[in-house]
Structure 1
């Protein structure tokens, strides 16, 4: 079974019996309003018993009636923007859609929770050439709970959905006229959210930072990146650009915070979670590292004069990249369906629900967080100094890689503390980021050289010239040497004078 995706940009408005839709002609190029008639829609929404999807702003429905009957999974992207993933009608939740919310459900049953019957009166907003700019619909909705609890609701709302590739100015112009006519932006982001609110069956609200203690700030940071991890899960499964990188970064930030702020959270409880985050980051790294290396080598080849590209260089790189990418992606998707990964998500939830706070967690953030950040900075300084003292070679490469890891931890610790400490923490994070960038490019060169050597050996064994691969190897060697020289300058600038008090 296949699924397709549509980017949906729409705004919803509350209306009443005495409110009439205004004239929209002339607003942002609207030349005509075409009546498309009334359609009867019957939608059954699915969720877990504790409404995990609704709590995350996700809706999953099976709808009949209208031109797009089928299963629809709507994933939030930004305010007023959602990706609607569709699958054909069937009796059970389609596996492609169930997989996209597996990080949320984790084995919990997806069952019917709400049924919505809607009479949709549709109008197309067209320009002078008859091109669709947006669709305006007036929906008269009747909602009924299906989870065994009594509850019904009725309301009327107006939706304005932008046409594919449309200009947001159309939505702005229409909204201006609707507001003037007495309509107001809907308080609920979706019909499901409205139905749950009106029947008293609301999803659990998201937890928010409630104070200025060290524990408040660290937990707020952890919650933000657990949310980022869960959002990235669906994006990775959909193979969206940069999704693996975002998921890996969320994993690293969580692990770094658990390690940096051991004075706030009891390491007896957090160290096992941090170890599992290390495992997940490593698994994700297989896919991400393959992607980064492919881009780097492709750029190197493209920058060479044609006279220096000898033999089937691009073809061999393409075969290597395709084989590696297929294997890496398959491995990543397999990891996301393991019990171990789902257990990690459960452990993160448990940690946030009942955090293992230490006495320092109750102290002011301004007193506790700086110590953790400065400790990471001191570790970074020691590792950079050691690496710069070593002669060029494998031992220095390893030391520089260790310094890179320390730079990431220092940067992440400073960024986590920034909401509490303000500009000094932000300044430190920026300074360390410049060091991390140099060290990261150096490590990429180390990895690239190992791959180029392997490609050269395979080319030679196949009777091809290895000239271009050797040339690229030399370029990477020179690049690494340049990064090592640059590091001394960047580190001197980043650590000049006394570190300002956090």
Structure 2
């Protein structure tokens, strides 16, 4: 039986054994309140021994009792909003949920950490037609740290919005509860509160490990950026598995940003340690690239066909495009998921975390961040200048197309370098990143047109071989040729705003 996903929008409030909710029919939109009785819930929460899920506000539980017993995995979306993925009740953690946890738990075991018994007194808030608006529950909770740790108890009120109900209702309910003296809880989840209140003494007394690089140093700045990208990889792994919009793109960009930073800041982190990681990040981005590149190409070709008058669309153009898109998208997704399930990827995650925990710092890591980062950004920018100048010196054709593509990759690296330096260099780095991004976008338009031409040629050959008209494919090919030519003509003007002399001035606060 497959899992299901539910968007959970809720708020929690402090309560005592004697707390009673006020009359909520005085809340605008609530016509009646129906008492649904008390249900007994027994939930065992799981995590790694070092509580990696709790650190990311991710919860995993196996719960019996109630009308939704089973395995529940919750990912934070925003304050008070979580996505809950449910799987049927089973003794062992279902494989699909284990996959969604892989980037966070890595090779660590997932074990029971807390057991919660809750007596839940449930009320349904209904509209005038009897439709469910929200569920309010008064939960009396008893928690025990596993396997045989301390215990704690508390009472709380939880208000969860029903599907397709506007969140403003929660504001009105909260205002009514506030007037009755019921205050919002500072805890975001039951398991978070349970872990905090049952923490062993040695866990409470732990002191933070000293930072590997002093604040304000180049090492601290580069490591902070690297950690940010690793966190994005970890967070978007389950989103890719769930096939959420833009997830593949975000994960791939994080791989590229991190790989670029490891190259740009080789004077801060020893390349003997970072170059092998860069190679693995390149591999991962490449495995994800098929899915992302296919998304971009599909959208571009569909848009090009939609722009044509019906009189110029000859033959089953849209049907052929749909068949091609579906087949290639399936293959690309299968390849991406195979990469995320591989031992090679798991090893990469472990090595990235070891790098962050024990970074191979070089001499420049101890120096002041502004000087070191500005010098690295300028170096990448000069590299971009060399590639742009070379491309502009070539005549139109395949060689220039390749040179412009290489310039585009250099523009990405220069932009990522400036982005990484923004917390240190501020507005100057932001201005430079914006100028280089304009160059990158224009070169990206050129490359997209080149890739589209190759795809259109294949489609024309397939159509001709099937006895269909190839007219429309040829027409679109010509339009992509014109788009590439337009981008190349526009490049000198856009590049003029981001040349090295501009970069040097831009990085001067």
Please give the range of the TM-score, normalised by the shorter of the 2 chains. Answer: over 0.9
1:241 aligns with 2:221: no
Distance 1:28 1:259, change over 3 A: farther
Question: CA contact under 8 A between 1:28 and 1:169: conserved in structure 2?
Answer: no
Structure 1 window deviating more from structure 2 (402-411 vs 13-22): it is: 13-22
**Offset at 1:34?**
2.4
User: 1:278/1:330 Cα in 2 relative to 1: closer, same or farther (>3 Å)?
Assistant: same
CA deviation after TM superposition for structure 1 residue 456, in Å: 0.9
User: How many residue pairs end up in the alignment?
Assistant: 501
State the partner residue of 1:66: 66
Distance in 2 (CA, whole Å) between partners of 1:374 and 1:264 is 15
C-alpha distance in 2 between matches for 1:199 and 1:222: 33
Give, in angstroms, the shift of residue 20 of structure 1: 4.2
| 1:425-470 C-alpha deviation (Å, 9 max, x unpaired) | 1111111111111111111111111111111111111111111111
1:353 aligns to what? 357
Contact 1:40 1:120 in 2 (8 A): yes
Contact map agreement 1:20 1:181 (CA 8 A) in 2: no
State whether structure 2 residue 423 is matched by structure 1 residue 419: yes
CA contact (8 A) 2:431 2:506 kept: no
Please name the residue that 1:302 is paired with. 306
SS in 2 for 1:241: coil
Could you tell me which residue of structure 1 aligns to residue 21 of structure 2? 21
Q: Structure 2 CA distance, aligned partners of 1:390 and 1:30?
A: 71
Partner SS for 1:494:
coil
Between 20-29 and 220-229, the greater mean CA deviation after superposition:
20-29
1:150 maps to which residue? Answer: 149
- How many Å separate the matches in 2 of 1:18 and 1:7? 31
1:64-143 superposed matches below 5 A: 64-143=64-143
SS in 1 for 2:44: strand
Q: Distance in 2 between the 1:273 and 1:482 partners?
A: 38
Counterpart CA distance in 1 for 2:323 and 2:285 is 26
Q: Aligned-pair distance for 1:19?
A: 4.5
Change (3 A) 1:185 1:205: farther
CA pair 184-364 structure 1, distance change in 2 beyond 3 A: farther
Q: Is the 8 A contact 1:19 1:182 kept in 2?
A: no
Quick check: 2:48–2:111 contact (8 Å CA) kept in 1? yes
2:237 and 2:444 map into 1 onto residues whose CA distance is 25
| Residues 116 and 143, structure 1, Cα contact 8 Å, conserved in 2 | yes
Q: Is the 8 A contact 1:25 1:31 kept in 2?
A: yes
Match of 1:375 among 359, 366, 379: 379
Rounded Cα–Cα distance in structure 2 between residues aligned with 1:205 and 1:47: 22
In angstroms, what is the RMSD of aligned CA positions? 2.0
Shift of residue 210 of structure 1? 7.4
Per the alignment, in what secondary structure is the counterpart of residue 24 of structure 2? coil
Matches within 5 A, 1:327-338: 327-338=331-342
Please give the alpha-carbon distance, in whole angstroms, between the structure 1 residues aligned to 2:28 and 2:215.
45
Secondary structure, aligned partner of 1:68: coil
- Normalising by structure 1, report the TM-score: 0.95
Matches within 5 A, 1:201-212: 211-212=215-216
Partner of 1:482: 486
Q: Secondary structure in 1 aligned to 2:396?
A: coil
**TM-score of the two chains, using structure 2 as the length reference:** 0.94
Task: Kindly indicate whether the alpha-carbon contact (under 8 Å) linking 2:133 and 2:161 is maintained by their aligned counterparts in 1.
Answer: yes
- Report whether the alignment pairs 1:162 with 2:166: no
Aligned residue in 1 for 2:195? 196
Q: Are 1:55 and 1:205, in contact at CA under 8 Å, matched by a contact in 2?
A: no
* Aligned residue number for residue 315 of structure 1: 319
3-state SS of 1:160 partner: strand
Give per-residue Cα distances to partners, 1:154-177, cap 9 Å, x unaligned: 111111111212222112222233
Work out whether residues 118 and 139 of structure 2, in 8 Å CA contact, stay in contact via their aligned partners in 1: yes
Q: Which residue of 2 aligns with 1:291?
A: 295
Query: For 2:271, which of 267, 270, 274 is the aligned residue?
Result: 267
1:221-262 deviations in Å (ceiling 9; x for gaps): 111111111111001111111111111011111111111111
Which piece of structure 1 moves more, 170-179 or 315-324? Answer: 170-179
- SS of the equivalent of 1:165 reads coil
Question: Is it true that 1:408 corresponds to 2:416 in the alignment?
Answer: no
Q: Quick check: 298-307 or 130-139, which moved more?
A: 130-139
